[in-house]
Structure 1
């Protein structure tokens, strides 16, 4: 999708609003499925929070200190939707979004604490001054409010010394995580770069099944368990890979 924006991608995945677009499996048995409509709803709410609460927009650097997780995908899409920049690793940040708020005590940037479990309604041991995403995101509107226009030349992604602009974001994601001709892609959620993996899949009108690293490691060595996931989820591009003792 040359020249595609995040708004274009979200419009694409909601053409069939009930179709699964993002499915999450964890090693402890948690399964979360987001249809196109539900994914858009999460992104809209999170974007509204970023804009209305944190004044995010073009030029805002949002540090995502999150593991590979479905919530990481939502926060990245929301950051991009308001024209801001996802930052991984260290470096200067205007907003910190983290599942480890205590690790950012004393930072001058606003801290948003994210509880990872799907049913979490609050963040335990919330540090003073930190924003609780679990309780805050739900208070924002399902429909997207006013957002600043995306500026194509502004940074959208900074990680490991690599800078990608909004103009090049979708093509960059596709170049590193393409799954040609697939409708349902299975990948390991290795780390926060899962945001690019998800963007690459969604931009091709496909859907993504994510396995957390512990589950992915188990599936590589347990062919029966892998089949029990791949079959019912109708995966047609299994990109987990294999180890020496696992399935080929």
Structure 2
């Protein structure tokens, strides 16, 4: 088994860079986005370069994600890991802790004010990765800024013992992937599966991101899931397992 999140992601991309690795639906907005391994890797590399070259972070620094499940959240979390940083999953709860950078959405800005940090980025999680029309005061627009950075990231190697998560959960890379492998077994999917996941029911990225990644599955993530669309979507997306 891969022992760091960047290695697990790189292996997932290598298996078939053009195949859908993560598909996103939001039934409240009608948004659908399909990301191949190569496309997601591009976003991950740009995010890591933003954090290292743009902000100047170094291995071991903490980054807070006050973000709901979303494909952009996946890109940010994987970018944080690629850069050797620790992700504080602030949206899952826990007390605010000092971090070097914070990512959030405009509707969470009031809550985000409790986190002591330097740089702050906001994203509207909008269809087609559109930028925000109006930025909260003190924030940079993630989707605008990240596009200015390189498509490939060459950082220092990440160790299995390095921290992957801080804040509500403290896990090394090795422990995080071990937990993800256990969750895949508990939830009943494995290599080659295409899993539809209601992210309202499974909001932890261990479940909706890392578990599919570590076992070689692909994910169809659904927010605000319309149950009336579930059967047709599962058929159209060639889903082998529904977690809703």
Same topology, TM > 0.5: yes
- Which residues of structure 1 form unaligned runs of 5+? 241-248
Check whether the contact 2:4–2:159 (CA below 8 A) recurs between aligned residues.
no
1:98 matched to 2:118: no
CA distance in 1, matches of 2:155, 2:148: 17
User: Counterparts of 1:64-213 in structure 2 under 5 Å?
Assistant: 64-89=65-90, 90-100=96-106, 102-103=109-110, 104-105=112-113, 107-144=116-153, 146-160=154-168, 162-178=169-185, 179-190=189-200, 193-194=204-205, 196-212=207-223
Q: Hey, what does 2:233 align to over in structure 1?
A: 229
The alignment yields a C-alpha RMSD, in angstroms, of: 2.2
Q: What TM-score, normalized by structure 2, do the two folds share? A: 0.85
Q: Runs in 1 of length 4+ with deviation above 4 angstroms?
A: none
CA distance in 1, matches of 2:160, 2:58: 12
- Which residues of structure 2 form unaligned runs of 5+? 91-95
CA distance in 2, matches of 1:77, 1:177: 18
Greater shift, 69-78 or 10-19, is seen at 10-19
Check whether the contact 1:72–1:192 (CA below 8 A) recurs between aligned residues.
no
CA distance in 2, matches of 1:120, 1:13: 21
Check whether the contact 2:58–2:84 (CA below 8 A) recurs between aligned residues.
yes
Deviation at 1:121, TM superposition (A): 3.4
Q: Hey, what does 2:93 align to over in structure 1?
A: none
Check whether the contact 2:179–2:206 (CA below 8 A) recurs between aligned residues.
no
Question: Number of paired residues?
Answer: 231
Deviation at 1:97, TM superposition (A): 0.7
CA distance in 2, matches of 1:175, 1:92: 31
Seen in structure 2, the aligned counterparts of structure 1 residues 48 and 105 have a Cα distance that, compared at 3 Å, is same
CA distance in 1, matches of 2:70, 2:34: 12
Check whether the contact 1:64–1:97 (CA below 8 A) recurs between aligned residues.
yes
Q: Secondary structure at the match of 2:196?
A: strand
CA distance in 2, matches of 1:195, 1:102: 24
Q: Secondary structure at the match of 1:93?
A: coil
Deviation at 1:137, TM superposition (A): 1.0
Check whether the contact 1:97–1:111 (CA below 8 A) recurs between aligned residues.
yes
Check whether the contact 1:115–1:133 (CA below 8 A) recurs between aligned residues.
no
